Structure 1
């Protein structure tokens, strides 16, 4: 099937003098109709779209307007990358899947205002043969190309690139440019600088202290840091990022700038800059590197150098995940789906701070959230606002505690209740009461393993028979670093390494050791091999050998035997041994072993994270 098109000459992309008329005085159909139809033909010829999909998109275009490629992507008929390739082919322009950031001429790119670059989603990359290569999300924006030529005084050649990749490159360039700046002398007056930032990099001409702090936050977000530590010493201030659970020193500043840096962060967090003797807590919310970031700020006075500051970073757009995306094996995923659809009972997620418990609870709530359920949560703090769910933030200053919020919930006809943490007897007793009166309760508790959650409730003062009758499952979890997919290397493991993570060497040699499937598994290692982190890593992982994290789990279901052991006050270790032997429960280390076999992490990482997991 051929798609009709009129024979109209393609518009020139050469940079001509700008007309005196307004940019909006052209009929978009005159400029774009032929190109859109030609893109449809290219996509069909390449097997990327079906004629009926093109026809449907053209019909939508007749009524709603817009570009054909954008409509096809919006209708999920075609991938954006395929549309961009077709556009490049149609216009005889090169198309890049990635922008080689190491080749970007920063001095060239930063000659243009960041607001202009972001508005038009373009970036001059480098000069070749006297012509500036400009990556663009929209190569048809010839007026923007005119502006680039005028501003740079050189001819330009557009390159088609996905708009979000252009934005990432802009953020990289301006972040790098800020980080190379030094703090000047005596430029620490920051009075009146407490206003909100629309985007932290848009403030590019303020005092050096402000630029330095902004670039610190920007760099932390780009490097996926979860925490920033600003630690003053006797001679200088040291800044460290926690990336994938590991602290890395990233920069230092001279001692004379410590008060100004601390004051700037306090102003942003709404704290009292005059109070230096007492710890303070505050929050910052900013748009950083295209992301909506919440920051929890904590200060503490020290005996050396003054106050230190810790900033916890939370990407609000990256909190909510699907259960299948956070590391559950296919067997655990099936069981969890059954558990969270129960009408009543308590499900506890256990683990230390920073082990991803809240992420797991949010994923569970997102899975069951529907108009026919009344779901309420009490959290400290509310990290992500969920549509259709009533969420309450703990505020101990007015005695709004976990137990107070939970007690109030029982008068609101709930179906499902999520309690951020069970940390005292009052909260535990009300949670048990709620579960025994027909409500499903999800919560967390701090223990090393799943069985430890049972004994922890008893230690809080809950009667063992109440624990046995209300609990339905406990899920222990930890976060392990994922191997960098760009530099991980295969090797032949020793038998003792295999056994240490629950892998049978004989089954491994025969290629039968892996029994669990995970969503998004990378390419598996060759038979008889595992993957490990390459020493020194690569540029993708910043030399760490790891990039990103995934969770390992230990799921304990309470059968009649476990309930009887609970009533008899059996210790956690014996409950765990029974569950592993009789209920086929995988320990944290065994689950990590399955992820090692899948090429997701390494033996060394699993052993380090599960050091307390007895085998």
Structure 2
């Protein structure tokens, strides 16, 4: 984009009150230097949302603004006349045509060359409507996904780099099975599925997606196609298509709707004579979050941020499978990832490669266990070590040795709550004094579904719901007035106990369902957390070999917020529901005293 266009767009944004003149002036030179549209810089610097910019541009040229595009109303016969690669490059979508003109949605009405091309292809004047980059790209992908059910193809090579992969929606082969598998992947990514289950039933094949922790039936297919579908997935994941008696594991790397996606594949034989496939979808956008994006309360964020910047000690993250432990560990590593630190990880498997961090995929079959990897790490001059899981005494003792010799160690362990991690280590055979001297913090976590902000419904909370969350008048007053120890109250981080400013009965929210959330009522998941810091009182209890209940009560007296407390805070904020919190909370988690 030329400098004259950049300056003109800047003038438009200023004239329409989108961005103050003193804020946008410094961006013009940057936009010209980088060749990046100034509108993108405005969004990136959070000076204005993309929709507001698009509305201003539409108003300047007297064009309509489209908040959403009904892709089901777009005739494929119109859209297909402009190749998808061209449509994506110029961010335009032909919506319809009549005898007089063709109607087109664009993100950039100044792209005169592209608009002229559309006019040439259709032989008619073009009537434009402006929308956002995100809306137009999503609409293009969804329109071509409709076509894909009838024949788009993909040839994937797991060895290719992301920028060398063919986008699944850009391919043009018409093989039915290939197209069916491709459409399955693109549908799963669009609907934010974490897993795809392809299951042979008695009469047909059932495909289920796991979305925000719940399984939903996504589609069905004739049973006679199951063998061909399995063969296609095996070819893509470089598995042995002739071997149908044994389980196999593989991996696929794809590019779907412009996003690089890794897919872990697992096949097993079933009693029906056909294989069952489960595929885990790994997207960097869902795993690689910042520490401030995980959903910590301000106080817990301050504590956790301080712990991971310590030079030594062990930080444990605990919770069941699928509770987001890997995401939390990656967020911690990214937070402290600097050229001045040597960070090594041992993982099973390595889910994503992190720049500046040296990762090892453990393989017990060749003797490369967590324990042996840890031993090798100690000879690699590490500053920070991440171990995927502490499963046995040997791994635990090497991790403790590493922490006591000046290294920060991050790992996970399977227990129900934070205090249970202490007793679990002792049960493994680790001496209590070693636990006391090495562990600096334990984070228990669960994932709860977040309510859709577009359709959630308010209602008056019941007494039973308040009781479930520990938010009756007595406990609210106790939480509000209890003494918070300095250990749990870092300087500069205000403390707001759940319910401290709550008036009974409060307003909670429940799911309804709308188009934005695919009528599920929920969009995405975030964590609820319980962060135990090993202070003197808790440390003395560990030395006395106290049980988990005694340790947790002492921590609560010092200001620990339990999983239920953090869940209550998110319910009060209208982020989730009582049912989600109670479903995530294990029965043996102590109630507030």
Q: Calculate the TM-score normalised by the size of structure 2.
A: 0.88
Q: Does 1:402 align with 2:370?
A: yes
1:267 corresponds, among 235, 239, 242, to 235
- Distance in 2 of aligned mates of 1:193 and 1:62: 38
The residue aligned with 1:156 is: 126
User: What are the residue-to-residue correspondences of 1:38-437 with 2, within 5 Å?
Assistant: 38-52=8-22, 55-57=25-27, 59=29, 69=39, 80-101=50-71, 103-127=73-97, 130-179=100-149, 181=150, 195=157, 197-437=165-405
Name the SS of the counterpart of 1:372 in structure 2.
coil
- Check 1:259–1:150 CA distance in 2 against 1; reply closer, same or farther (3 A cut): same
1:528 paired with 2:503, answer no
3-state DSSP of counterpart to 2:328? helix
Mind listing any 5+ residue stretches in structure 2 that lack a counterpart? Answer: 159-164, 482-493
Partner of residue 461 from structure 2, selected from 466, 473, 493: 493
- Counterpart CA distance in 2 for 1:193 and 1:54 is 44
Structure 2: how far apart are the matches of 1:61 and 1:342?
Answer: 39
Structure 1 contact 39–90 (Cα < 8 Å) conserved? no
Matched, 1:469 2:447: no
| 8 A Cα contact 1:345 1:435, kept in partner | yes
Instruction: Give the drift of 1:260.
Output: 0.4
Counterparts of 2:44 and 2:449, CA distance in 1: 34
Which residue, 553, 563, 584 being the options, matches 2:539? 563
Say if 1:59 and 1:273 are closer, same or farther in 2 by CA, change over 3 A: closer
Name the CA distance, whole Å, in 1 between partners of 2:43 and 2:274: 54
CA offset digits 1:453-474 (Å, max 9, x no partner): 1122122222222222211111
* Partner Cα distance (1:218, 1:446) in 2: 34
| Partner Cα separation in structure 2 for residue 43 and residue 163 of structure 1 | 17
Separation in 2 of the partners of 1:601 and 1:138?
38
Instruction: Name which of 521, 532, 549 aligns with 1:573.
Output: 549
**Which of 532, 540, 549 is residue 516 of structure 2 equivalent to?**
540
Give the drift of 1:324: 1.6
Q: Deviations over 1:59-103 (max 9, x none)?
A: 567767665555666777665545444433443323334434454
SS of alignment partner, residue 540 of structure 1: helix
Which sections of structure 1, spanning at least 5 residues, go unmatched? 1-27, 184-189, 519-523
Deviation at 1:387, TM superposition (A): 2.4
Cα offset for 1:546? 1.0
Contact kept, 8 Å, 1:232 with 1:305, in 2: the verdict is no
Q: Give deviations 1:386-426, integer Å, cap 9, x for gaps.
A: 22222222233432221111111111221111111111222
More divergent stretch after superposition (384-393 vs 472-481): 384-393
Q: Secondary structure at the match of 2:517?
A: coil
**TM superposition shift of 1:576:** 2.0
**2:526 corresponds to:** 550
Which sits farther off after the overlay, 345-354 or 111-120? 111-120
558, 580, 593: which is aligned to 1:583?
558
Larger Rg: 1
The whole-number CA distance in structure 1 between the counterparts of 2:300 and 2:35 is 46
| Alpha-carbon separation, structure 2, partners of 1:325 and 1:68 | 27
Change (3 A) 1:260 1:64: closer
Alignment check: 8 A CA contact 2:462 2:505 kept:
no
Distance verdict in 2 for CA 1:253–1:496, change over 3 Å? same
Q: Distance in 2 between matches of 1:421 and 1:583?
A: 29
CA shift in 2, pair 1:505/1:210, >3 Å? farther
Indicate the SS of the match to 2:292: helix
Q: CA deviation at 1:441?
A: 0.6
CA deviation after TM superposition for structure 1 residue 321, in Å: 1.5
CA distance in 2, matches of 1:387, 1:360: 17
Deviates more, 1:92-101 or 1:118-127: 92-101
Aligned partners of 2:461 and 2:505 also within 8 Å: no
Give CA deviations for 1:422-478 in whole Å, capped at 9, x if unaligned: 112221111011011111111001111111111221222222222222111111000
Deviations 1:136-160 (A, max 9, x none): 1222223322332343454321222
Q: Does 1:609 align with 2:584?
A: yes
CA–CA distance in structure 1, aligned partners of residues 35 and 293 of structure 2:
36
Q: CA deviation at 1:264?
A: 0.5
Number of matched pairs: 566
